[in-house]
Structures are given as C-alpha cells and as structure tokens.
Structure 1
Amino acid sequence: MNSRLSAVDIRQFETKHQIRLPADFAAFLQLAGNGGAGPYYGIYGIEKMHPLDYTVDDPPANFLALPCPLYPDMSRENDWEKEFNNDVYHGILVIGTQGCSYMIGLIVTGEYAGRVVYLDEDNQPPYVILEPDFLSWYERWLDELLAGCEMSGFGYGLRGEEPQLWQIFDDPATQDRHRGFAVDALLRWPTLSRAGRGRAAELLGHPLAGVRAAACRVVRKFQIHEAAKLLVPRLQDEAAEVRQAAVYAAENLQQRFDPEAVVLLFDENEEVAQSAYFALNATQPHSRAILLQLLRSPHRSLRGFAANAIDWKLNDVPLLIELLADENFSVRHYAILGLRQLKNPSCLPAATELLAREIDPNHIDNLLRLLGDIPGETNVDLLLKWIADADDLHRLAAFESLCKLGDLRAKPVAEKLLAETKTPSRRTNLGWMGDAKSIATLARESLRKSPHEELRKLGGGWWNWLKPW
C-alpha cells in the first residue's frame, strides 16, 4: 500500500472538488494507505483520481458534486442512456482501472453515494456494484482472493460461498433477477459440491430464463456430464440467452447434439448464432456445405466468419463476385482474396466496378493487386491511373501489378519511384501504417519479380535478368 494520507490531505481534495468523500473511503485512505493493492490493477493514489468531466464539452466546476443518477440493477442494454435526462457521469470519482477502456469509479454524490461502479470509456453500460460501500467491496475482494476464486470478473453479481448462495436462491424474498445472480456467482468458486452439481442440473428446467442460462454456465464450468441430456431442450429454449449458454455448455461437455446445435448457426439472434459457430467449430471444423449456407446468413458477422474459413473452389467464382457487394467489410476482403487465389478472368468487370466505388484503402490495395494477378484489356490503363494517386501504398500496389503483368509502360513510372527515398505511409483511423523500406526499395523489389527482362534489369543485379521461377 502507498503511504497513508492525513485528514488535511483529504480535506484539501474535498474542497477542490466541492464534495465530501464517503466516510469509509476516507478512512481507507487515512488508515490503510493512499491507494495501492486492490482489485484488477489496484486503487489509484488520490493524486491520480479524477472525475469523468471530459465526457462533456464544457463541464461545470462542480461536476463531481452534482448527483450521480446511476443505480444498482439499471439497464445494461445498448440504449441504457435513454432514461437519464442529464449527464450520467456526474458525481463519479475514478479510483482505478480494469484495463483498456474499463474504469473503476466511486459514486460520491446522489442516492447511491459510496457505491463502486464499473465504467467504460467507450460508453458500454455501467455496472453499479451490489455491495453498499467501498469497504464491503474491498473486503469481498480480499475474501475471494484468499479463497482461490476466479478474479477476472470480480465484483459482478452477488457475494457469498456456495451455501450462502443457495440460501439466497431459496429465499422467497429474493428478486427473480437475483436468483439468476446467485447461480451465476457459483462460477467464481473453484469447486462445486455434489449436491450443488445436482441442483445445477435440475435448474436447467427452471421457469426463469435467467436461472436456466446461469445453470447452463455452471454445467459448462464444472463439466456436469450427468446434465448432458437435460441440455438438449435448452438448445431450443425460447430465450436467446439460454440457447447461447446451452450451446457453449454442450461444446464443453463434447456433446454436439446434431442436428439441434447445428440449427443454432441459423438462429434469428445473431449472438446465439455467433456462439454456435465458435462452439461447434471448436469440436469439429464446419463443413464446406455449412459454410456456403452461412454466406447467405442475414447476420453480417456469420457471413464474415464463413468467408474467412471456407476453402474456395473454381466454381465459387460467381458467388465471390456476388460477395464483392456485401455490406460487411470482412466479407468483401475475403472475397477479393478468394478471387486473387482463383485468378478467373470473369471477375474483372465486377472487380473494376468495385474499385471505382470502394472507399476502404486496404480493399483498394488488394483490388489493384488483383488486376496484376489476372491479365485484362483495361487493367494497365487503370493501374496507370492509380499510380498517380496521392496514396503511397495505392501507387506501390498498382506498380507491383504493372510489373507482374510485364507491361513496359511501367518503365517511366519506375524511374520516378526509384528516385523516392521516403518510406510509404498512410493515415488510418488506427494511426499511421506503412513500410520500413523506402518507396525506391519496394519498387525495385517489384521490378525484380517481373516476367519481363527489361523491367527486371531496372530492378538491378545481373541475377535478376534471369526469368523468375
């Protein structure tokens, strides 16, 4: 732990932000330490703690003092913000990180002041911890850490050991949603009693969907093979969350349940279909027949998975041409690569049309290389046009194709490229991309691979005059 704070240190922080820290948290900073050991990556020191005022353009000075509207059991759907009229991040002090964009916050104002809340800078739904205050949450971490619990998702759901969790589940006063939480909480523990295994299997038929889904997850983690037959109806459950959990449980028990599980590849719910794809593929790779069907799926992600996995055949060219118009970036990407692999001239009109409207720079690069893989009447004119493009990588891809076609109109272009000593670069949403080699070096490499002797000579080195293998 870091050095402890004084009461004066805490008061200065409170004055600066116009708040009073929850009493237990202030005591933690004074008696335990100014941050240090704690869940995930630990607790920040007070000098690193901050409000989430960068979520608004012009935050007021008392942003942290404004009441936080978040509450336990709030919606975790994508449209979670619609119920709030004001900024949802008022009154939250960031006290740690879970890694990447995920943060640990402490609500310091409002009805649930004192509670820990998990947040995401990418605006995924927040999760308000069920423990009533910071110290309860922190002590739970210590208890579960010492007990050997799974800590990767610490803080979600209910606390308690197996007997306590079954008591919560059986209590008539427990909310329906919390019954599912109680079963899910069993997943944190390293072992499950024989009685618990039997109960989990029985709960696969429970009337509450949240409980059935949680029971599937318990069956999966603890590999309750005696529940295998009871999983079959859950693969056709009316609730999507249950079908999704059931297919993963079946895969973990090495039970494919054909054809029941295969049907889930075509489920109306995209998340269920995704889960079925990965779960079934882990047991046995999908057949070509299945992948061809998935290329017609209404779900974007499934079409992308199938386009990536399938082994293309020559008779797939019409389908690949059709997939060039797919709205999914990944599908178009793999369709272009498939056409490059098959090298069938019938695809050139569609590829040329796509090149005229495509906006993704990586797709454009691959389409330009496709024009070098398959000779065509208009290819050279198109490539010469793209060599004049402002994008370095487009120019190099077009030049590479010209060299591959062995067209001598590449010679005057080569003279210009061979004089460029800078490295190629492109600005993308993810930052800059390019190559460590210079434009001249890359152009020389393309020349050396050309089937035309004159172009190979321009690449330098007498051994490159020979026809490449």
Structure 2
Amino acid sequence: MTVDFSDVPPRLARLAADPTAGEVFGAGEHGFVLEPPLTGAELAELEGQLRRELPAEYRSFLLTAGRGGAGPAYGLFPLRRVDGRWRWEGDGADLTDLDTLDQPFAHTEAFNPADALPPRPDEDDVDSPEALEAAEDAYQELYEAVVYDDAHSVGLLYLCHLGCALREALVVSGPARGQMWADDSADGGGFRPLRDDDGVPLGFARWYRRWLDSCPTPVTR
C-alpha cells in the first residue's frame, strides 16, 4: 500500500517561511525542514539490514517526503548511514534495538511494567533510618531493572521525543504493527497506543497529519 505524502513538503515550506509558525512546539529544533527522501535502493538496503520491511505508511513517507526532520514534538528522528549501517539519530533514538526490530512487540493494549513491582518500602516496614535507606536503594534498583528492561520495546521503532524523556514509537513487528505508541516510562506511565478522537489507534500517516493539521495556516502575503 502506497500513501500519498506529496503535499507534505510544500506545506512544510510554507510553514518554514511563516514567522508565526515558530510558535509551534518543537519548531525551533526542526524548522519545518525535512531531510531528503530515501532512494529505493537505500530503503532496500535499510530493510535488508533490519531483516524486516517497514510498515507501509512510514516507508511511503521515507520514499516520497523525507528521511526525518519536521514532525510532531521535536521532529522525526532522521535516518543516517554510518559506516555502512543505517540508524536513526536523536534524543532517544538509541532506544530502538535494530537487532530485534524483526521480533514481535507482543502488546495490543496499554501496559505498565511498574504494575508488577511490589509496594515501595516505607518507615513502617523497617526498624531504622539506615534500613529504610537500604530498602529504598534496593527498590530503586529493582524499579529500573523492571521498568527499563529492553524487552519491553522489542519491535518498536522510536521516532520522536516530546521532552522529559517521553517518546513515541512505531510498531514494526507484532500484532499492533503499523500503530504509533507512547513510551511514558519516564513518568511512570508505561506504554500505550496513541488513538484518534474516535478511539481508533493511530497509524503513522494519521499521527503525522494530525500534527501537520494542528500547525497554523501560513499567512498569505
């Protein structure tokens, strides 16, 4: 399935030229500029390295609009070829495990790894301040091991960050393939599918266009 993104570059160009568009959150980072699209050969090389074809909407964007730059929040992580290997770059792009993108992200509903943790220790559980401090340190170590376990994000391609270590990702493999998900682990929220106003999970195209449609209409001079 091919998705038409031919209108995106000219819309972004008009936004880039409009001084009022600078008020859009994150615009100072990407300036409404997309990096050049991938060629068919480059996409084939990328997908060969990943051992997986990317979801149709995103691969259409890469081929017809751009390989990264202007987009939701602080923009789309750009694709770069470094020492013969393709990778995404940006704040949190390294959360994508390129070696496991072909393995399934198992979830279809929101989940929070922290729900499996025992209650936090408090002073009623111990008999001294020193014991409480030790219990809190042990709990924090357990919390980080459970909540930030790389296994939770297998099959997820991280595409942008919203600040405060909150990120959004595309499901590449698994039953939710093609959906956009939020990783709210940094504020204790776990993972959840992003949904449209009617509750339908967002794919890449609708996710991107919701952002583009939210930007101000450029002033005509």
- Name the structure, 1 or 2, with higher relative contact order (CA <8 Å, separation 6+): 2
Report the equivalent of 1:5. 38
- For residue 62 of structure 1, report the CA deviation from its aligned partner: 3.9
RMSD: 2.8
- After superposition, the Cα gap between the structure-2 partners of 1:34 and 1:77, relative to the gap in structure 1 and judged at 3 Å, is closer
Does the aligned pair in 1 maintain the 2:102–2:173 contact within 8 Å? yes
Q: Pairwise mapping of residues 125-204 of structure 1 onto structure 2 (< 5 A)? A: 125-130=190-195, 131-146=201-216
Cα distance, 1:16 vs structure 2: 1.2
Q: Give the superposition deviation at 1:71.
A: 2.2
Q: Aligned partner of 1:135: which letter? A: A
* Structure with higher strand content: 2
Q: What corresponds to 1:153 in structure 2? A: none
DSSP 3-state at the match of 2:208: helix
1:21 aligned partner: 54
Preserved CA contact (<8 Å) 2:185 2:191: no
What is the number of residues matched between the two proteins? Answer: 137
**Matching of residues 181-260 of structure 1 within 5 Å:** none
Determine helix, strand or coil for the equivalent of 1:93: strand
Closer, same or farther in 2 for the Cα pair 1:117/1:31, shift >3 Å? same
- Would the alpha carbon gap of residues 28 and 88 (structure 1) be closer, same or farther in structure 2, given more than 3 Å must change? same
Per-residue deviation at 1:75?
3.8
2-structure distance, mates of 1:23, 1:68:
17
Which of 52, 68, 71 aligns to 1:38? It is 71
Cα pair 2:38 2:63 within 8 Å, conserved = yes
Distance in 1, Cα, partners of 2:111 & 2:185: 17
**Counterpart AA for 1:44:** F
Q: 1:68 aligned to 2:97?
A: no
CA contact (8 A) 2:178 2:203 kept: yes
Pick the structure with greater CA Rg: 1
**1:103–1:120: 8 Å Cα contact kept in structure 2?**
yes
Which structure has more helix as a fraction of its residues?
1
8 Å CA contact 1:105–1:118 kept in 2: the answer is yes
Letter of the 1:125 partner, please give it.
G
- What's the TM-score once normalised by structure 2's chain length? 0.54
Partner Cα distance (2:54, 2:189) in 1: 26
User: Quick check: 1:68–1:90 contact (8 Å CA) kept in 2?
Assistant: yes
Mapping for residues 14-413 of structure 1, pairs under 5 Å = 14-47=47-80, 48-49=87-88, 50=93, 52=95, 62-72=99-109, 74-76=110-112, 78-79=114-115, 87-120=151-184, 122=186, 124-130=189-195, 131-146=201-216
- The superposition leaves residues 151-193 of structure 1 with CA deviations (integer Å, 9 ceiling, x where unpaired) of xxxxxxxxxxxxxxxxxxxxxxxxxxxxxxxxxxxxxxxxxxx
Relative to the length of structure 1, the TM-score reads 0.27
- 1:115 Cα shift? 1.0
Q: Distance in 2 between matches of 1:53 and 1:145?
A: 28
C-alpha displacement of 1:11: 1.4
Q: What are the within-5 Å matches in structure 2 for residues 410-449 of structure 1?
A: none
